[in-house]
Amino acid sequence: MKQQPYQPALPVYKKLILGFCCCLVSFTSFAQVYKEKGKNRFTFAQTTFGYDMEYTPPGGYSYSRDANGVLQKHKIGNTLSPSISITGLHFWGHAEFFTSFSLPDIKLSSGSRYGEFQRFSFTGFKVFPRAIQPGKPSPYAGMALSSFSYRQAEGTKFRHADGAILAGITYPLKHGLLELGANYHFSNRYSYYISKTENVPLKVPPFTFSIDYKYFFDLSVNSLERQKKGELRKEYEHLKKKKMLSSLFVAAGPAYSFIVKRSTYNKDNKAFLGDHRVTSLFPDIGIGYYHYKTDAAANLSLRFYKSGLNAYGYSQEIRRNSVALELYKFLGDYHGFVPFAGAVLSSEKIRIKESTAGNTTYEHTHKLLSPGFIAGWDIRPTRTDWWGVRTNIRYFPFLELDMPGNKKIGLQQFELNFLQMVLYPNRMLANFTGKKN
């Protein structure tokens, strides 16, 4: 998601208040349902929605040349990065998968004399050796993918993904979780071009600290009550009679891509531009068919994004439109946590455009087929529900573009979508129009 520039007219305290107000939404809140309702498939996973504030101290540095041409070192950091977090608490409070969506940064020092550093959202997991329990603090450890951007003067907006080791403590409250954490970003040393020909060491701040409050809300506890009343069995028989156990589905959710291979074209021709590494948030839309007997699915997914590099009067823009056929098989069912794996064949239409001083110097549209792999998991309380939540992880190991001079731009990438809502219209229609006997 593209971040908006900081608006100094809005005081910091007002931004903090505005952010925390985002959490005060009218969800039906629950405590730890696996404590209240017991350990079963309907309490295996629980969702939270919250607000996270991450502080980056000035622990990084870069260099610039002063008016006399002398190389000067300066610090990077001292920002607050708010975000909206959505998490899934799994294994009855022992693990958490999470993703967050960035809000505009809050700078704690005025001006941007040397450069602009921004820390973006996290996607990852946490493990709680002691399950989260009411009234008891629970330490955690975990790992995450994060991203940041740095831009200095007229140089490129250097955006990169990095890994982080997480540690902290979570304390359950009546309607949610209060969390304090420390994060170590172990990939923190790079180089940055301060001119078309000169690069200098760049170190991004290795440590960040966060505070997060997350509200509980749950969509599957109702299924537990329906099971006790025998309603789930009636729904199954009704869908079987209507021949609607198999169903069409539609899906939508936010995704982003991490591009994992360097471009030989940029490296040899315009190294100061850097590489396309992390995309902005883009929609992941799907329509498919789920086959009940084989517990497998076919899906047609649509994704599209734009990625741009700009530095010293040069620009390079990539626009990708992708329609992929995906075939995957679900592999077991652990209390509603259902992993899957399969293959992808993607029809790619990718336009690349280069400009110098605003004048187009190269433009070409590439059309190709790219194979890939897909894996992930569904959270489905039952196999007959009209909804589910899906995580998609796609990998395209061969996606690259031919460029002049027998060079290539590598777009080999991982696509991550940790929160896709899946709806089954056939089942919705059957449950709405028919009587369950």
> Which domain CATH number covers 147?
2.40.160.20
Which residue, of 217, 238, 269, is where some domain finishes?
A: 217
Residues 90 and 111 in one domain: yes
Which residue, of 195, 217, 239, is where some domain finishes?
A: 217
Q: Residue 339, CB half-sphere, CA atoms under 13 Å: how many?
A: 6
Residues 239 and 156 in one domain: no
pLDDT tens by residue, the chain, 437 residues: 444 333 334 444 344 434 434 433 333 344 555 556 556 666 677 788 888 999 999 889 999 988 888 999 988 888 888 988 888 888 887 888 888 888 877 777 655 566 788 888 788 899 999 888 878 899 999 999 888 889 998 889 888 888 899 999 999 887 888 999 999 999 899 999 999 999 999 999 999 999 999 888 766 666 666 777 777 788 888 888 888 889 999 999 989 898 988 889 999 989 999 999 988 889 999 999 999 999 999 999 999 999 999 999 999 999 999 999 999 999 988 878 899 999 999 999 999 999 998 899 999 999 999 999 999 999 888 888 888 889 999 999 999 999 998 999 999 999 998 889 999 998 888 776 655 44
Tokens (6 digits) for 194: 């301060």
- Residues of the domain holding 409: 229-433
| Residue 3 falls inside a structural domain | no
How deeply is 77 buried, as exposed, middle or buried, from its count of CB atoms within 10 A (0-12, 13-18, 19+)? buried
CA dihedral 278, 280, 286, 291 (to 10 degrees): 40
Single-letter residue type at 229: K
Per-residue model confidence as pLDDT tens digits over 373-416: 999 999 888 888 888 889 999 999 999 999 998 999 999 999 99
Instruction: Give the number of other CB atoms < 10 A from CB of residue 324.
Output: 23
pLDDT at 414: 93
| Residue 4 falls inside a structural domain | no
Query: Cα(145)–Cα(124) distance, rounded to whole angstroms?
Result: 6
| Residue 407 falls inside a structural domain | yes
Query: Cα(373)–Cα(342) distance, rounded to whole angstroms?
Result: 6
Beta-strand relationship, 359-379 and 158-172: unpaired
Tokens (6 digits) for 273: 């531009």
Query: Cα(222)–Cα(220) distance, rounded to whole angstroms?
Result: 5
Single-letter residue type at 65: R
The alpha carbon of residue 278 and the mean position of all alpha carbons in its chain are separated, in whole angstroms, by 11
Question: Hey, is 223 helix, strand or coil?
Answer: helix
The alpha carbon of residue 353 and the mean position of all alpha carbons in its chain are separated, in whole angstroms, by 27
Number of H helices, E strands in the chain: 6, 24
Instruction: Work out how many domains the chain is built from and give that number.
Output: 2
Non-local (6+) Cβ contacts of 9 within 8 A are none
Residues 119 and 233 in one domain: no
Which residue, of 189, 217, 245, is where some domain finishes?
A: 217
Per-residue model confidence as pLDDT tens digits over 309-326: 999 999 999 999 999 999
Which regions of 66-137 does DSSP assign to beta strands (E)?
A: 71-76, 79-90, 95-102, 106-107, 116-119, 123-127
